[in-house]
Structure 1
Amino acid sequence: MNETAAASAAEEATRGRDAATDPVLVGEGVQRSYGDVVALDGVDLRVEAGEVFGLIGPNGAGKTTLVRALTGTTDAEGDLRVFGAPPPEVDPQRIGLLPQSFDPPERLTATELVEYYGGLYDDARDVESVLRDVGMADDADAWYETLSGGQQRRTCVATAVVNDPDLLFLDEPTTGIDPAGRRSIHRLIERLADGGTTVFLTSHAMDEVERLADRVALLRDGAVVAVGPPGDLIAEHGGAPRLDVTLDGGASEEVAERIEAGLAGGVAVESTRDGLRVSGVRPEAIGDAVDALDVAFESLAWSEPSLEDVYLRLTGEEYSPREGTLEEALRDGGDR
């Protein structure tokens, strides 16, 4: 090989390595408004190849608008790139999308429905294997309209993965699905990610996101307020482990203060509707904490913080969307 050819080969190899490490999704300063309502307020986002990326946030926070911007179905200001290109320029053969609201033709069987969507792509997967992946093999010949809500949702998931996408958007994929069906969908998502598919998952099921996502972004009022691996977010924002004590008749603040004074430092006690909550109790200290309570109790429940605690802490248990909500903007002719 001469020097020119060798240099060309080396340059091509370098480009290949760079492409393999480039992020699949990039958003910088993404903004979108509907009239006076700001749906996205300077969102910065980066999703790596093969990553399961979770997006969580309250209703009206801008999640669906962000997904639509990333898939090129709504305009947005700022820098948006998918596979290095603006979303409208991306080959749709590489994308799979399951929207939160999806109403396919009802007078088709599950098999016919997946075959229809598979026919939109040049190289679709075998329909029978896709239905088996989502747990619909036994009901493949049933009309869509006769399926239960969970079975319909599983069939919809099948339509989103029939093209074996490089990038898969799933918006509330397991809504209405029973525990066994949810497990099938979770295993499918894990297999797809292991095979190199990048998954962008939006869900209100915090346990689902915590289990599946490599990283999570929490969106509130159109802005990302936290992003990172679930474990890191829980450690930073989830609070301390807690011991919930159910008492007959509850407990007053005075009782809680008296008990807290008798416990080791770093432990906080507060009264709840059903009794007491003791925060900061490690598993090995549960016995000592119970001894120090010095009250008759009906039950004890110890738990570690979870992604749900992060969500509630960063959004507020009684979250109220901005004045001039997205719902109002939609009624005036916008999209979500």
Structure 2
Amino acid sequence: MDETATADAGDAPAEGATPGGPDGGDPVVVGEGVRKSYGDVDALDGVDLDVAAGEVFGLIGPNGAGKTTLVRALTGTTEAEGGLRVFGEPPREVDPSRIGLLPQSFDPPARLTARELVDYYGGLYDAARDTEAVLDDVGMADDADAWYETLSGGQRRRTCVATAVVNDPDLLFLDEPTTGIDPAGRRAIHRLIERLAADGTTVFLTSHAMDEVERLADRVAMLRDGRVVASGAPDRLVTEHGGAPRLDAATAAPTTEGVVEAVAAGVRDRLGTDPTVEATDDGLRVWGVRPEAIGDAVDALDDAGVAFDSLSWSEPSLEDVYLRLTGEEYARRGDGGPPDEAAGEGRRAADDATPGGGRAADDATPDGGDR
């Protein structure tokens, strides 16, 4: 594991990013020394962060790292120690109509249609977006009259996203918004997030899909063991922690130590650098090969007599940063740790604060709910 991960890289804003937003205004979300414990386990252990107006802020980390607990603290659905401010106020004092919330787990009434659900949640506010427009935004216009219980997992999640944005929030919390959604549905949600941010909505996004965060987020914070271990713009994190580009060769024959040494010598001669070459399950990998040097690296393979079936070259990504800073094998802290990422925690969050910050759907049944 990269020891630099333990440095508080997240304490400083990313280069080119101004705390509080481009106009230098106050941040929309502020956390200072946020702490939350479940018994002897620290779910949050002194988290510091700020989120600017109109920013898409990504929060990533392993299961049990504290992501959902932090979202709950910032939305006022759980108590936490430390300084917490949303629009300059304690989270529980913020006008609910300004907040949109999609919990990790949310179970609305199953015998309502998608349209009825969005209508209902929109009806909780003095001003709400047009239901049909919201359903179209999330790709549910063609299935709007299907009961929630008959929808696929991805369709249900898209409907839940719709209920979280129907109030046109100033600040939108999305906890794993595209879980179970097919590629077309994911693109629809991504376009919606991009459009909301362009119109000034601040988006606080947690996701295990690193490509999603890398595409959408202006800045990213990584949690591990309840602490921010790195933060900044995605490209900055990739540069600092992602490692070197790599060339992978899938070989028919097993890669021996002699082959690795021969390839390393050939790459050294041709590229003028001291490469890292290693055997993999499928063949071998050459680290540090820039795009313009791929041909020379392939020649080095030929010189070493390496017969390969296929080649692939890749640059480091946010996923590489994630794996480097968290470890590929991550053990949850303690036995029976905090219910942070568990389904029960998500259900509790859904009970305490429904999408948009409104009242719980189960407290009132809209028309058609008794079918």
Name the TM-score, length of structure 2 as normaliser.
0.83
- What is residue 245 of structure 1 aligned with on the other side? 249
State the distance in 2 between where 1:266 and 1:137 align.
Answer: 57
Shift, 1:268, TM fit: 1.1
State the distance in 1 between where 2:22 and 2:284 align.
Answer: 55
State the distance in 2 between where 1:191 and 1:218 align.
Answer: 25
- What is residue 299 of structure 2 aligned with on the other side? 291
Residue by residue over 1:224-264, the C-alpha shift from the partner in whole angstroms, topping out at 9 and shown as x without a partner, is 00000000000000001000110113312332123112213
Q: Which runs of 4+ in 1 moved over 4 A?
A: 17-20, 327-331, 333-336
- What is residue 9 of structure 2 aligned with on the other side? none
State the distance in 2 between where 1:327 and 1:44 align.
Answer: 20
Letter in 1 for 2:317: S
Instruction: Report percent identity of matched pairs.
Output: 77
Higher relative contact order (CA 8 A, sep 6+): 2
- What is residue 275 of structure 1 aligned with on the other side? 283
User: Does structure 1 residue 180 correspond to structure 2 residue 184?
Assistant: yes
State the distance in 2 between where 1:181 and 1:253 align.
Answer: 46
- What is residue 213 of structure 2 aligned with on the other side? 209
Query: Contact 1:34–1:329 (CA<8 Å) still a contact in 2?
Result: no
After the TM superposition, which of the residue ranges 78-87 and 254-263 deviates more from structure 2? Answer: 254-263
Residue by residue over 1:29-69, the C-alpha shift from the partner in whole angstroms, topping out at 9 and shown as x without a partner, is 00000110110000001100000000000000000000000
User: What aligned pairs does 1:11-50 form with structure 2 within 5 A after superposition?
Assistant: 21-50=25-54
Q: Structure 1 residues 96 and 258 mapped into 2: Cα distance closer, same or farther (>3 Å)?
A: same
- What is residue 321 of structure 2 aligned with on the other side? 310
State the distance in 1 between where 2:167 and 2:340 align.
Answer: 34
Match of 1:74 among 52, 75, 78: 78
Aligned CA RMSD, in angstroms, stands at 1.9
SS in 1 for 2:308: coil
SS in 2 for 1:81: strand
Query: Contact 1:109–1:141 (CA<8 Å) still a contact in 2?
Result: yes
Q: What number of residue pairs does the alignment pair up?
A: 319
Letter in 2 for 1:317: E
State the distance in 2 between where 1:225 and 1:27 align.
Answer: 15
Letter in 1 for 2:311: L
Shift, 1:328, TM fit: 6.8
Match of 1:197 among 198, 201, 204: 201
Stretches of structure 2 lacking an aligned partner (at least 5 in a row)? 1-20, 350-371
Shift, 1:122, TM fit: 1.2
Q: Structure 1 residues 284 and 20 mapped into 2: Cα distance closer, same or farther (>3 Å)?
A: closer
State the distance in 2 between where 1:329 and 1:69 align.
Answer: 11
Shift, 1:330, TM fit: 9.1
Letter in 2 for 1:56: I
- What is residue 66 of structure 2 aligned with on the other side? 62
- What is residue 15 of structure 2 aligned with on the other side? none
Residue by residue over 1:181-217, the C-alpha shift from the partner in whole angstroms, topping out at 9 and shown as x without a partner, is 1000000000000000000000000000000000000
Stretches of structure 1 lacking an aligned partner (at least 5 in a row)? 1-16
Letter in 1 for 2:174: L
Query: Contact 1:172–1:202 (CA<8 Å) still a contact in 2?
Result: yes
State the distance in 2 between where 1:329 and 1:58 align.
Answer: 11
User: Does structure 1 residue 123 correspond to structure 2 residue 130?
Assistant: no
